[in-house]
Amino acid sequence: MGSFSIWHWLIVLVVVVVLFGGGGKISSIMGDLGKGIKSMKKNLKEDDDADTIEEEEMQKVGEKKPSDKKSTAKKSSTTKKS
């Protein structure tokens, strides 16, 4: 209890660096974080838009899902046996 642990020294070090070594570092770090979040949101939206466009194109072309092809194959094989 009388001596400080490593965690106490790390906290003191962080406080000293923030207070005396700052010089706008915190604001620049937060600005970079904000830019990163905006970029991530933009890319996620673009991916969703691309998926939506692909689905619309598939519907226009009239492609069927693979599950639809299997069901038609089963129907044709059962009709051949009859």
Q: What's the chain's Rg over C-alpha atoms?
A: 30
Q: 3-state DSSP call for residue 82? A: coil
81: pLDDT strictly greater than 50: yes
26 within 8 A of 18, measured Cβ to Cβ: yes
State pTM to two decimals: 0.41
Looking at per-residue confidence, does 79 or 26 come out higher?
A: 26
The mean predicted confidence, pLDDT, of the chain is 76
Classify the C-alpha dihedral 14-19-21-25 as positive or negative.
positive
Specify the pLDDT at position 15. 85
Report pLDDT digits (tens) over 36-76.
999 999 998 888 888 888 888 888 887 555 555 555 555 55
Q: 3-state DSSP call for residue 59? A: helix
